[in-house]
Amino acid sequence: MQAVSTSRPLLVLDLDETLWHGIDDPTQPTGVRFLLRPHLRTFLETVGQHYDLAVWTAATEDWMHAGLTAIREAAEFDLAERAFFLWHRERCTWKRTEDGAYAFRKPARKFNAGWIRSKYPRHRVLVVDDVASNYACGYGHLVKVSPWTGDEMDTELEALTYYLTSIARHEDVRSLEKRGWRTRAATFS
Ligand SMILES: [Mg+2]
């Protein structure tokens, strides 16, 4: 019989190409418009019943807040208000890649901070991201989603809602095998 946890796990969400896609739009006062991924509202409301939520994006702080405002207005979900933390580019580190460029990383060791760990030990922390290499040092936390750039028929967040809900009470979500999660999510729907 599998161990069951009664505490709420923490779900750390990426934003760009995971929850939304930002595009240039000169007609907007901000010069940018955020397309929201299909099923976002249901995803946040449903998953938010089972998880505490946080944000970790490699985008700038301004970009992050602009998109979170778009979510609040369109999906009536105040992720900025709900989030346990809102981490943006300044919380990321740089890593030099093989071709000499630099890429952001989200070092999962930052979840060891006492103020996080005391409430959410590492085995109760999941992350959702469309770029696996962001969590090169924390794959165990990762539920990798496909990057989204505007396909209105996309069902990734719908499947993810089923999957995350199904594992929320698992005592050790970090050690669960999460590759191939879509196949398992399909059996729930
Ligand atoms: Mg992303």
pLDDT band at 139 (very low <50, low <70, confident <90, very high): very high
Distance, in Å, from the CA atom of 147 to the CA atom of 149, rounded to the nearest integer, reads 7
CA of 95 to the centre of ligand 1 (A): 16
If one compares 29 and 149, the residue with the highest pLDDT of the two is 149
Give the pLDDT confidence of 5-56 residue by residue, as tens digits. Answer: 778 999 999 999 999 999 989 998 888 999 999 999 999 999 999 999 999 9
What is the number of other CB atoms lying within 10 angstroms of the CB of residue 45?
Answer: 13
Dihedral sign (CA 38, 8, 108, 68): positive
CA of 136 to the centre of ligand 1 (A): 14
CATH class of 10-188: alpha beta
The token duo for 14 is 């990426």
Distance, in Å, from the CA atom of 181 to the CA atom of 189, rounded to the nearest integer, reads 13
Give the pLDDT confidence of 54-74 residue by residue, as tens digits. Answer: 999 999 999 999 999 999 999
Task: Identify whether the C-beta of residue 174 lies closer than 8 Å to the C-beta of residue 125.
Answer: yes
CA of 165 to the centre of ligand 1 (A): 22
**Average pLDDT of the residues in 171-181:** 94
Domain ranges of the chain: 10-188
pTM for the model stands at 0.94
